[in-house]
Structure 1
Amino acid sequence: MTTRFSNELYFTDGSIGELKTVTTWNVWDCASMQWTGSPPVVLRNILLAGLHPRLLMAIGEIQKTDTNPNLLNPFVPSNYPKQYLDLASNSRTHGRFTFNQNPIGSYYYGEDWKRIIYGSIVHTGCKKLIYKDIYYLVVDDENRDENGDYMDDPVNNYHWFTGDSHAKASAELMELLGLPRDKDGVINHIGGFVDVRKPIQFRAAFFGKWVGKGTIAHNPVLDITYDGSIIQGLEEEAKIDLVIPLSSLKGNKPKLGVHKGKILMGLVFEAEKRKAKPGWMLFHIKSV
C-alpha cells in the first residue's frame, strides 16, 4: 500500500486546513498466503490515512463462507515484521480486517470488540477531509433534567439539541466540511450561507484519542462567542465549533464538558465502488 498525502493550509499557522489522501491497496490471498493478481483498490480521503499516512497496508481476500479463525492469526509476509490483528472494516459482510506490527486501534477504541465492530469509521471514504483547532463540547444526548426533559449538557445545564449520533456545529465548521451554500439559509460571519435543514454524514477523530461518526447539522447558538461564566472550563472568550454526543463516540469517550484540540473531520461519500467479491481483509504492514 502507498498513500499520496497533501496538506493544504488554510491559515499559515496550521490551525485550519484540508487533507487529501489517495491510498492504493494491493490484494493478499489469505488462503494461499500470497499476493493476488487482482487490480489494486483505491481509497480516497479516509481517516486512517489522514491520521497515520506513513502506515503500509494491504487488503487480504477471503471467501465469504470461510469460518477458519486461524486466518486472523498473526502472519509474517516475506521481508516484513510480524503482523497482528488491529482493526476491522465491514468484517461481517466483507471480511475486512487491519493487521499491524504495532496496533493503533486501542488508542481510539479501547476494548477489542469495538476495534472490530466500529473499525470501519476510519476506513470510510470521504468527499472532503478538513481539520480545525477548535473548542468542542462532549455531551450526553440521553440525559434528562429533573422534569424529564432532554438536557444533553448537564455540565452547563443547557440543551444543544444533539440526538442519537447527531452532533451540532457552527456555520463555519459546516462550511469547512463542505455543506452546500443556500441563499435561503442562515448567513454567517464569513459571508456564506448554511441551510440548517441539511444535516450531513460525518466522520471525526482526535489523533490518538477517539473517533466518531453520525450526522451533523448547524446550530446558530454556536456562532456566538462564549466565556467561562457560561461554559465551564472555557479559559478565554471563544466559540464552541462542535457539540458531539457520547452516542457518536464509538470507542474511547472523553469526559463530558469542554475540550480543545485539532479535530480531523470528513464529509462522507461513497469513495470506493465495491465489486462482487467474496470478502476482503485489511492488513497493516510496516516495513523494517
Structure 2
Amino acid sequence: MLTIAKTNLATGEIVDKDIQFRNTLLEALHPDIKLSIGNISPFLNKIAKAESTAKTSKSASQRRTAAKSIVPLKKQAIAALNKGLGKYQLSGASGARKHGDFFFSQELNPFATYFPSAMGQINYGSILMTECLKIYAIPQLTILIVQDKEYRTDDCHGKISHELLNQLRQSEDFAIPANTPFQFRAGITNAWVAKGTLQVELNLPQGVDLVMPLSCFKGHKPTLGIQQVTSLKLGIVNFAQKRSVKTSYTVWQWFSQQAIAHDVLPINQLKAETLVAAQSDVKQLCQLVQAEQWVKVDEPEEECEEEADGKILSEILKHDIYGQLLEHPYVVRKIEDLVRRRWLTLATSGGINFSSFMAQPCPELGKLEMCISELPQGEYVGFRYPIRDQAFLDEVGKSLPKLDWLIDRKNQGVYGSYYDSKQRCNTKSQKRGNR
C-alpha cells in the first residue's frame, strides 16, 4: 500500500499525511517509489471565478479586470507546480488532476518512464495509480501483440487464454467469476504499461496466453508479434457487471431546458431539501451517512477516497450507540467533507444516476444488437458515456427512427426522460449469456 502526503502548494501546508493507494500498478512495478501530492486547487478556484466573472459580470470594468487576472493566475499555478516540494519534483497526474492534485516523485520519475510525452504523463498517469481488486505477478508468459480487430480484439480489448485464467484462479484469497470479462491494468517494469478489458478466448494460437492490441498500450508500445515476457504485473480493476453511475454536465448539456425542468429538477430539489433538513441536526446527518449510498461512480480511481470515507464513517457511527463521538474532530471533519461532496454531486449530476454496463465486442451480434443478461429482451436506448457532442445524438436519431421525437433541433437538446429504462428504441437486448 502506498501512503502519500498531500501539500497545498499555495500555502505550503500539509493537508493530509496519510492518503492511501492500495494495489496500484505503480507500487507493483516500483515497490520502493517515493511520492508526494501537490494540490493547486486554490489557484484553480481563483481561475474559475475569474473566468466566470469575465463572462457574466454586468460591469464592464469587472469583466476587464477579471480577464486580465486569468493569465497571471495560470502562471502562478504553473510556477507552483514547477517549484516542486523540496526534493520532490513534478512527475505526473491521474484523474484527480481536475481537483488540483498532481504527483511529485523523488529520484525516479515513474510517469516519464512509461509515457515519453508530458501530455502522456498527465493524461495516462491514472493507469499507474488505479486501485485494483487484485494484482498478480506472473513470472513468465507469451503475449501476442496485434493490430486492433485481429484475433477478435478491438479498441483496448484483448483476449486471455483459458489456461492462464485458470492459473489465476488458483489464488485462494480472490475469486474470479466464470465467463466474466474484466478491466485490467498491466505492466513490465521500466518497459510498458497497458489498460483495457480482457475476455477469455478458447481458440487462441497454440502457446499464447494473452492477445493484446496496440491500442491497449499508452506511451511506450511493444513491437507486433509474439513476445516472451517475464515478470508481468496484471491487475484486475473491475468485472463486467451492472453499475450505477453518476451523471454530469457531459449528459445534461445536451438536454433542453424544458426537459431539465420537467425530469431533473424535481428529483434534485427533493434530495437537496433532504440534505438541508439533515444539516440542521448532526444526528440526522449521521443517520444520512449510514442510510445513503454516498458513492456511485464509473471511475473508481477518482473517488475511492470518498467511498472509503463514507464506509469508515458509517461503521464508526453504527457502533457509537450513545452518540459519544458525534463531536469528535475526525467525525465532524469527515461529515463536513462528505456533505460538501454531496452538494457538489447534486450541482453537477442533478442527483440522478443511470445504469452502466461494460460493453465488449462480439462479432456474432448484429448491428444495433447488444447482449446484457440482466435485462429482458426488448428495445432500449444505449449510448456511450461521456457523450462527446451533439453529433452523437443526431446519429442516434438517424439510426433509430423512433427516437426522432427526442431530438430537439432548435434548442440542440433532448426532450424526455432519456435516462429512464422504460424508454424504448430499436436496439435489441438479447439474452445469449454473459458476453
TM-score by length of 1: 0.66
2:147 to 121, 128, 140: 140
Please identify which structure carries the higher strand content. 1
2:3 aligns with: 24
Structure 1 counterpart SS, 2:211: strand
Q: Which runs of 5+ in 2 are unaligned?
A: 48-73, 239-299, 307-337, 345-435
Q: Name the CA distance, whole Å, in 2 between partners of 1:181 and 1:27.
A: 37
Deviation track 1:112-164 (CA, whole Å, cap 9, x = no partner) reads 211111011000000000021111011110xxxxxxxx5x2xxxxxxx11111
Partner residue, 2:176: 180
Secondary structure in 2 matching 1:168? strand
Distance in 2 between residues matched to 1:207 and 1:39, nearest whole Å: 28
Alignment correspondent of 1:240:
208
8 A Cα contact 1:27 1:59, kept in partner:
yes
What TM-score do the two structures reach when normalised by structure 2?
0.44
Partner residue in 2 for 1:128 = 134
- 2:196 maps to amino acid: G
Q: Which of the numbers 181, 200, 207 marks the counterpart of 2:182?
A: 200
Distance 2:100 2:165 in 1: 34
Q: Please, which of 68, 82, 91 is the counterpart of residue 73 of structure 1?
A: 82
Contact persistence 2:35–2:106 (CA under 8 A): no
> Partners of 1:90 and 1:257 in 2: how far apart?
32
Contact 1:179–1:200 at 8 Å: present in 2 too? no
In structure 2, relative to structure 1, the CA distance for the partners of 1:112 and 1:214 (3 Å cut) is same
Aligned equivalents of 2:201 and 2:122: distance in 1? 33
Aligned identity (percent) is 33
Matched, 1:47 2:52: no
Amino acid at match of 1:264: K
Is contact 1:87-1:119 (8 Å) kept?
yes
1:58 paired to 2:90: no
Native 8 Å contact 1:129 1:266 kept in 2: yes
CA root-mean-square deviation: 2.3
Map 1:1-288; keep pairs closer than 5 Å: 22-36=1-15, 38=16, 40-63=18-41, 64-65=44-45, 67=74, 68-77=77-86, 81=87, 83-102=88-107, 103-132=109-138, 133-141=140-148, 152=150, 160-175=151-166, 176=168, 180-182=176-178, 195=179, 198-222=180-204, 226=206, 239-261=207-229, 262-269=231-238, 270=300, 272-274=304-306
Q: Read off the aligned partner of 2:305 and give its amino acid letter.
A: K
Q: In structure 2, what residue type is equivalent to 1:31?
A: A
Query: How far apart are residue 218 of structure 1 and its match?
Result: 0.4
Shift of 1:179: 6.3
CA contact (8 A) 2:38 2:104 kept: no
What is the CA-CA distance between 1:62 and the residue it aligns to? 2.7
Aligned residue pairs: how many?
A: 208
Which of the two has greater helix per residue? 2
Give the whole-Å Cα distance in 1 for the aligned partners of 2:98 and 2:122: 12
**Alpha-carbon distance in 2 for matches of 1:246, 1:164:** 9
Instruction: Give the CA deviation at 1:199.
Output: 1.2
Q: Measure how far apart 1:260 and its partner are.
A: 1.3
Sort the Cα spacing of 1:273 and 1:172 in 2 relative to 1 into closer, same or farther, 3 A: farther
Contact 2:36 2:105 in 1 (8 A): no
* Cα offset, 1:100, TM superposition: 2.2
> RCO greater where, 1 or 2, for CA within 8 Å and sep 6 or more?
1
Distance 1:215 1:130 in 2: 16
Shift of the alpha carbon at 1:268? 0.5
1:71 Cα deviation from its structure 2 partner: 2.1
Question: 1:148-206, CA deviations, whole angstroms, 9 ceiling, x for partnerless residues?
Answer: xx5x2xxxxxxx11111001011233341766344xxxxxxxxxxxx1xx211100111
Q: Which amino acid aligns with 2:8?
A: D
Kept in 2: contact 1:91–1:116 (CA 8 A): no
